[in-house]
Amino acid sequence: MIKVGVAGYGVIGQRLADGVALQKDMELVGVADVSPTLAVRALKEKGMPYNLYNALPGNETLFAEAGIPVSGTLEELVQKVDIMLDATSAGVGAKNKEIYAKYNKKAIFQGGEKNSVADVFFHGYANYEKGIDKQFLKLTSCNTTGLIRAVDCLDREVGVEKVAITIIRRVADPGDYHRGLTNALQVEKAPSHQALDLMTIMPHVNATGILVHTPVTHGHIISVVATTKKKINKAETLSFFRKHPRIRVVSLSEGFLGNASLFRYARDLGNPRGDMYEIAVWEDSVVESGNDIMFVINIPQEAVVIPENMDAIRAATSMQTDKAAGVAATNNYLGLGKWLKK
Protein backbone atom coordinates (compact mmCIF):
# COMPACT_ATOMS: atom_id res chain seq x y z
CA MET A 1 0.00 0.00 0.00
CA ILE A 2 1.62 3.25 -1.16
CA LYS A 3 1.28 6.08 1.35
CA VAL A 4 0.48 9.49 -0.16
CA GLY A 5 0.35 13.04 1.18
CA VAL A 6 -1.05 16.18 -0.45
CA ALA A 7 0.48 19.64 0.03
CA GLY A 8 -1.95 22.44 -0.74
CA TYR A 9 -5.68 21.85 -0.19
CA GLY A 10 -7.04 24.21 -2.82
CA VAL A 11 -8.79 23.68 -6.16
CA ILE A 12 -6.46 20.90 -7.30
CA GLY A 13 -5.37 19.64 -3.88
CA GLN A 14 -8.91 18.82 -2.76
CA ARG A 15 -9.45 16.79 -5.89
CA LEU A 16 -6.08 15.07 -5.60
CA ALA A 17 -6.97 13.99 -2.07
CA ASP A 18 -10.31 12.61 -3.23
CA GLY A 19 -8.60 10.87 -6.17
CA VAL A 20 -6.05 9.16 -3.92
CA ALA A 21 -8.80 8.13 -1.48
CA LEU A 22 -10.53 6.30 -4.36
CA GLN A 23 -7.42 4.25 -5.20
CA LYS A 24 -7.78 0.92 -3.41
CA ASP A 25 -4.02 0.34 -3.53
CA MET A 26 -3.05 3.72 -2.02
CA GLU A 27 -3.45 5.28 1.42
CA LEU A 28 -4.03 9.01 1.86
CA VAL A 29 -2.05 9.85 5.00
CA GLY A 30 -3.10 13.49 5.12
CA VAL A 31 -3.32 16.91 3.50
CA ALA A 32 -1.45 20.10 4.37
CA ASP A 33 -2.36 23.76 4.06
CA VAL A 34 -1.22 27.08 5.48
CA SER A 35 -4.46 28.48 6.96
CA PRO A 36 -8.14 27.71 7.64
CA THR A 37 -9.33 28.48 4.11
CA LEU A 38 -12.91 27.81 3.04
CA ALA A 39 -11.82 24.41 1.74
CA VAL A 40 -10.25 23.57 5.11
CA ARG A 41 -13.31 24.83 6.98
CA ALA A 42 -15.49 22.63 4.77
CA LEU A 43 -13.19 19.71 5.59
CA LYS A 44 -13.88 20.28 9.27
CA GLU A 45 -17.63 20.54 8.72
CA LYS A 46 -17.54 17.22 6.85
CA GLY A 47 -16.05 15.60 9.95
CA MET A 48 -12.35 15.75 8.99
CA PRO A 49 -12.30 12.74 6.63
CA TYR A 50 -8.63 13.54 5.98
CA ASN A 51 -5.97 14.37 8.58
CA LEU A 52 -4.82 17.98 8.24
CA TYR A 53 -1.24 19.18 8.68
CA ASN A 54 -0.03 22.75 9.11
CA ALA A 55 2.18 23.74 6.18
CA LEU A 56 3.36 27.03 7.70
CA PRO A 57 5.00 26.95 11.13
CA GLY A 58 3.65 29.78 13.28
CA ASN A 59 0.09 29.50 12.00
CA GLU A 60 -1.02 27.08 14.71
CA THR A 61 -3.18 29.71 16.42
CA LEU A 62 -5.15 30.34 13.21
CA PHE A 63 -6.26 26.71 13.10
CA ALA A 64 -6.89 26.62 16.85
CA GLU A 65 -9.07 29.74 16.74
CA ALA A 66 -11.10 28.18 13.93
CA GLY A 67 -11.49 24.98 15.95
CA ILE A 68 -9.77 22.90 13.27
CA PRO A 69 -7.71 19.95 14.55
CA VAL A 70 -4.16 19.68 13.17
CA SER A 71 -2.22 16.42 13.11
CA GLY A 72 1.23 17.95 12.80
CA THR A 73 3.43 19.89 10.41
CA LEU A 74 4.08 19.46 6.71
CA GLU A 75 7.54 18.14 7.52
CA GLU A 76 6.01 15.50 9.79
CA LEU A 77 3.55 14.53 7.04
CA VAL A 78 6.41 14.12 4.57
CA GLN A 79 8.18 11.72 6.91
CA LYS A 80 5.08 9.47 7.05
CA VAL A 81 4.55 9.04 3.29
CA ASP A 82 6.18 7.39 0.28
CA ILE A 83 5.28 10.20 -2.10
CA MET A 84 3.88 13.74 -1.98
CA LEU A 85 1.48 15.38 -4.40
CA ASP A 86 2.36 19.08 -4.33
CA ALA A 87 -0.57 21.29 -5.34
CA THR A 88 0.69 24.52 -3.80
CA SER A 89 0.89 27.87 -5.56
CA ALA A 90 3.51 28.26 -8.28
CA GLY A 91 6.97 28.58 -6.75
CA VAL A 92 6.00 27.13 -3.37
CA GLY A 93 6.45 23.58 -4.66
CA ALA A 94 10.07 24.32 -5.54
CA LYS A 95 10.66 25.39 -1.94
CA ASN A 96 8.85 22.33 -0.59
CA LYS A 97 11.09 20.20 -2.76
CA GLU A 98 13.88 20.88 -0.27
CA ILE A 99 11.84 19.11 2.43
CA TYR A 100 11.05 16.18 0.14
CA ALA A 101 14.72 15.82 -0.79
CA LYS A 102 15.79 16.10 2.86
CA TYR A 103 13.86 12.92 3.67
CA ASN A 104 14.56 11.29 0.30
CA LYS A 105 10.86 11.21 -0.60
CA LYS A 106 9.33 11.20 -4.05
CA ALA A 107 7.09 14.08 -5.15
CA ILE A 108 4.83 15.11 -7.99
CA PHE A 109 4.42 18.76 -8.91
CA GLN A 110 1.64 20.47 -10.85
CA GLY A 111 1.70 22.44 -14.08
CA GLY A 112 2.35 25.80 -12.44
CA GLU A 113 5.88 24.87 -11.37
CA LYS A 114 8.85 25.30 -13.69
CA ASN A 115 9.96 22.21 -15.57
CA SER A 116 13.33 22.35 -13.82
CA VAL A 117 11.71 21.29 -10.53
CA ALA A 118 11.42 17.69 -11.72
CA ASP A 119 13.32 14.85 -13.36
CA VAL A 120 10.53 14.21 -15.87
CA PHE A 121 7.74 16.27 -17.47
CA PHE A 122 5.04 13.60 -17.22
CA HIS A 123 1.83 12.48 -18.93
CA GLY A 124 0.22 9.14 -18.12
CA TYR A 125 -0.60 8.06 -21.65
CA ALA A 126 2.12 9.79 -23.68
CA ASN A 127 5.30 9.01 -21.68
CA TYR A 128 4.42 6.85 -18.67
CA GLU A 129 7.60 4.81 -19.05
CA LYS A 130 9.83 7.86 -18.52
CA GLY A 131 8.38 8.40 -15.04
CA ILE A 132 9.09 4.91 -13.72
CA ASP A 133 11.08 5.01 -10.44
CA LYS A 134 11.93 8.71 -10.79
CA GLN A 135 12.02 10.84 -7.64
CA PHE A 136 10.42 14.03 -8.95
CA LEU A 137 7.77 14.30 -11.67
CA LYS A 138 5.96 17.37 -12.97
CA LEU A 139 2.52 17.20 -14.53
CA THR A 140 1.37 19.19 -17.53
CA SER A 141 -1.22 21.96 -17.16
CA CYS A 142 -4.93 21.20 -17.46
CA ASN A 143 -5.10 22.32 -21.11
CA THR A 144 -1.94 20.47 -22.06
CA THR A 145 -3.10 17.33 -20.26
CA GLY A 146 -6.36 17.16 -22.19
CA LEU A 147 -4.74 18.18 -25.45
CA ILE A 148 -2.11 15.46 -25.20
CA ARG A 149 -4.79 12.87 -24.45
CA ALA A 150 -6.52 13.64 -27.74
CA VAL A 151 -3.36 14.02 -29.85
CA ASP A 152 -1.75 10.90 -28.32
CA CYS A 153 -4.93 8.94 -29.03
CA LEU A 154 -4.67 9.72 -32.75
CA ASP A 155 -0.89 9.37 -32.76
CA ARG A 156 -1.05 5.80 -31.50
CA GLU A 157 -3.62 4.89 -34.11
CA VAL A 158 -2.27 6.54 -37.27
CA GLY A 159 0.63 8.83 -36.28
CA VAL A 160 0.51 12.62 -35.98
CA GLU A 161 2.97 14.90 -37.75
CA LYS A 162 1.79 18.29 -36.57
CA VAL A 163 -1.03 20.11 -34.81
CA ALA A 164 -2.24 23.69 -34.75
CA ILE A 165 -4.40 24.63 -31.80
CA THR A 166 -6.59 27.53 -30.69
CA ILE A 167 -7.36 27.62 -26.96
CA ILE A 168 -10.38 29.53 -25.68
CA ARG A 169 -9.33 29.75 -22.06
CA ARG A 170 -11.49 30.36 -19.02
CA VAL A 171 -10.14 33.36 -17.15
CA ALA A 172 -10.41 32.02 -13.59
CA ASP A 173 -11.73 29.13 -11.56
CA PRO A 174 -15.24 29.37 -10.08
CA GLY A 175 -15.12 31.47 -6.91
CA ASP A 176 -11.93 33.31 -7.84
CA TYR A 177 -12.07 37.11 -7.62
CA HIS A 178 -8.46 38.09 -8.22
CA ARG A 179 -8.93 38.35 -11.99
CA GLY A 180 -11.63 41.00 -11.61
CA LEU A 181 -14.95 41.28 -13.40
CA THR A 182 -14.30 41.44 -17.14
CA ASN A 183 -16.18 41.80 -20.41
CA ALA A 184 -13.39 41.32 -22.90
CA LEU A 185 -11.28 38.77 -24.73
CA GLN A 186 -7.51 38.87 -24.39
CA VAL A 187 -5.05 37.33 -26.85
CA GLU A 188 -1.66 36.04 -25.75
CA LYS A 189 1.48 36.06 -27.86
CA ALA A 190 1.84 32.93 -29.98
CA PRO A 191 2.86 30.17 -29.70
CA SER A 192 1.05 29.21 -26.51
CA HIS A 193 2.95 27.27 -23.86
CA GLN A 194 0.55 24.33 -24.30
CA ALA A 195 1.82 23.76 -27.83
CA LEU A 196 5.43 23.99 -26.65
CA ASP A 197 4.71 21.66 -23.73
CA LEU A 198 3.10 19.14 -26.05
CA MET A 199 6.32 19.04 -28.08
CA THR A 200 8.31 18.47 -24.88
CA ILE A 201 6.21 15.40 -24.10
CA MET A 202 5.78 14.33 -27.75
CA PRO A 203 8.90 15.66 -29.54
CA HIS A 204 8.00 13.95 -32.81
CA VAL A 205 4.91 16.19 -33.22
CA ASN A 206 5.29 19.74 -34.56
CA ALA A 207 2.86 21.94 -32.63
CA THR A 208 1.90 25.59 -32.53
CA GLY A 209 -1.01 27.42 -30.96
CA ILE A 210 -2.89 30.58 -30.06
CA LEU A 211 -4.58 31.27 -26.71
CA VAL A 212 -7.53 33.60 -26.03
CA HIS A 213 -8.67 34.39 -22.47
CA THR A 214 -12.45 34.56 -22.02
CA PRO A 215 -14.55 35.87 -19.07
CA VAL A 216 -15.97 32.47 -18.09
CA THR A 217 -15.06 29.99 -15.36
CA HIS A 218 -16.28 26.51 -16.35
CA GLY A 219 -13.81 24.88 -18.69
CA HIS A 220 -11.59 25.62 -21.65
CA ILE A 221 -12.34 24.88 -25.30
CA ILE A 222 -9.53 23.81 -27.65
CA SER A 223 -9.82 23.66 -31.42
CA VAL A 224 -7.29 21.23 -32.92
CA VAL A 225 -6.21 20.82 -36.54
CA ALA A 226 -4.13 17.65 -36.80
CA THR A 227 -2.03 16.48 -39.73
CA THR A 228 -1.87 12.69 -39.47
CA LYS A 229 0.63 10.39 -41.17
CA LYS A 230 -2.25 8.39 -42.59
CA LYS A 231 -5.29 10.34 -43.78
CA ILE A 232 -8.35 9.59 -41.65
CA ASN A 233 -11.99 10.50 -42.07
CA LYS A 234 -14.55 11.65 -39.53
CA ALA A 235 -15.91 8.19 -38.79
CA GLU A 236 -12.44 6.77 -38.14
CA THR A 237 -11.51 9.71 -35.91
CA LEU A 238 -14.63 9.28 -33.80
CA SER A 239 -14.05 5.54 -33.54
CA PHE A 240 -10.58 6.18 -32.09
CA PHE A 241 -11.88 8.69 -29.55
CA ARG A 242 -14.80 6.47 -28.55
CA LYS A 243 -12.41 3.73 -27.43
CA HIS A 244 -10.51 6.02 -25.06
CA PRO A 245 -11.64 5.81 -21.39
CA ARG A 246 -10.62 9.43 -20.70
CA ILE A 247 -12.34 10.93 -23.74
CA ARG A 248 -16.12 11.30 -23.95
CA VAL A 249 -17.71 11.89 -27.37
CA VAL A 250 -20.77 14.17 -27.14
CA SER A 251 -23.06 15.91 -29.62
CA LEU A 252 -25.14 19.05 -29.94
CA SER A 253 -28.28 16.99 -30.57
CA GLU A 254 -27.91 15.40 -27.11
CA GLY A 255 -28.00 18.86 -25.56
CA PHE A 256 -24.27 19.39 -25.07
CA LEU A 257 -24.25 22.93 -26.43
CA GLY A 258 -21.04 24.04 -24.72
CA ASN A 259 -18.86 23.92 -21.62
CA ALA A 260 -21.73 24.82 -19.27
CA SER A 261 -23.76 21.86 -20.57
CA LEU A 262 -20.97 19.48 -19.62
CA PHE A 263 -20.60 21.02 -16.17
CA ARG A 264 -24.34 20.75 -15.59
CA TYR A 265 -24.33 17.12 -16.78
CA ALA A 266 -21.55 16.28 -14.34
CA ARG A 267 -23.64 17.74 -11.52
CA ASP A 268 -26.70 15.80 -12.69
CA LEU A 269 -24.59 12.63 -12.59
CA GLY A 270 -23.90 13.41 -8.95
CA ASN A 271 -20.17 13.91 -9.44
CA PRO A 272 -18.63 15.66 -6.40
CA ARG A 273 -18.33 19.40 -7.10
CA GLY A 274 -19.58 18.74 -10.64
CA ASP A 275 -16.14 17.38 -11.54
CA MET A 276 -15.31 15.58 -14.78
CA TYR A 277 -12.05 13.67 -15.12
CA GLU A 278 -12.54 13.13 -18.86
CA ILE A 279 -12.28 15.57 -21.73
CA ALA A 280 -15.13 15.78 -24.24
CA VAL A 281 -14.98 15.80 -28.04
CA TRP A 282 -17.95 17.23 -29.91
CA GLU A 283 -18.96 14.80 -32.65
CA ASP A 284 -20.34 17.77 -34.62
CA SER A 285 -16.93 19.49 -34.57
CA VAL A 286 -15.00 16.73 -36.36
CA VAL A 287 -14.28 17.96 -39.88
CA GLU A 288 -12.03 16.73 -42.67
CA SER A 289 -9.94 19.53 -44.18
CA GLY A 290 -7.80 18.26 -47.03
CA ASN A 291 -5.37 15.82 -45.43
CA ASP A 292 -6.02 17.24 -41.96
CA ILE A 293 -8.65 16.42 -39.36
CA MET A 294 -10.17 19.15 -37.18
CA PHE A 295 -12.04 18.73 -33.88
CA VAL A 296 -12.96 20.60 -30.72
CA ILE A 297 -12.45 19.40 -27.13
CA ASN A 298 -13.63 20.60 -23.73
CA ILE A 299 -11.16 20.75 -20.83
CA PRO A 300 -12.70 20.63 -17.31
CA GLN A 301 -9.80 22.49 -15.73
CA GLU A 302 -10.48 21.71 -12.07
CA ALA A 303 -10.35 17.90 -12.31
CA VAL A 304 -8.84 16.87 -15.65
CA VAL A 305 -5.30 16.39 -14.29
CA ILE A 306 -6.34 14.06 -11.43
CA PRO A 307 -6.07 10.79 -13.43
CA GLU A 308 -2.59 11.69 -14.69
CA ASN A 309 -1.51 12.44 -11.11
CA MET A 310 -2.62 8.96 -10.09
CA ASP A 311 -0.66 7.58 -13.06
CA ALA A 312 2.36 9.55 -11.87
CA ILE A 313 2.19 7.97 -8.41
CA ARG A 314 2.05 4.53 -10.01
CA ALA A 315 5.02 5.22 -12.29
CA ALA A 316 7.25 6.99 -9.75
CA THR A 317 6.74 4.31 -7.09
CA SER A 318 6.90 1.48 -9.67
CA MET A 319 3.48 0.21 -8.58
CA GLN A 320 3.00 -0.71 -12.24
CA THR A 321 5.96 -0.59 -14.61
CA ASP A 322 3.72 -1.30 -17.59
CA LYS A 323 1.81 1.74 -18.85
CA ALA A 324 -1.29 -0.20 -19.87
CA ALA A 325 -1.56 -1.73 -16.41
CA GLY A 326 -0.91 1.60 -14.67
CA VAL A 327 -3.47 3.70 -16.52
CA ALA A 328 -5.99 0.85 -16.39
CA ALA A 329 -5.75 0.74 -12.58
CA THR A 330 -6.25 4.50 -12.36
CA ASN A 331 -9.21 4.37 -14.75
CA ASN A 332 -10.81 1.53 -12.81
CA TYR A 333 -10.63 3.21 -9.42
CA LEU A 334 -11.79 6.59 -10.76
CA GLY A 335 -14.65 5.01 -12.71
CA LEU A 336 -13.36 6.30 -16.04
CA GLY A 337 -14.84 4.83 -19.20
CA LYS A 338 -18.10 3.71 -17.54
CA TRP A 339 -20.04 5.46 -20.32
CA LEU A 340 -18.38 3.16 -22.87
CA LYS A 341 -20.37 0.24 -21.42
CA LYS A 342 -23.75 2.00 -21.47
Q: What are phi and psi of 231, to 5 degrees?
A: -60, 130
Chain centre distance of CA 199: 18
113's enclosing H/E stretch is none
Residue burial 198-232, b: 16+ Cβ < 10 Å; e: rest: bbebbeebebebbbebbebbbbbbbbbebbbeeeb
Going by the DSSP 8-state scheme, the letter that residue 7 receives in this structure is: E
Closest by alpha carbon to 142, among 331, 303, 2? 303
- Cα-only R_g, the chain: 20
Q: Which of 83, 142, 315, 327 is catalytic?
A: 142
The residues facing 292 across adjacent strands are 227, 289
Q: Consult the annotation and say whether 311 binds a ligand.
A: no
Question: Does residue 153 have an active-site annotation?
Answer: no
Rounded CA separation 91/83 (Å): 19
**Helix residue spans in the chain (DSSP H):** 11-22, 38-45, 60-65, 74-80, 92-102, 142-158, 193-201, 234-242, 259-268, 306-316, 323-334
3-class SS at 172? coil
Residue 119 burial (10 A CB sphere; 0-12, 13-18, 19+)? middle
Q: Which residues are catalytic?
A: 142
| Residues annotated within a binding site for NAD(+) | 33
| Residues annotated within a binding site | 33
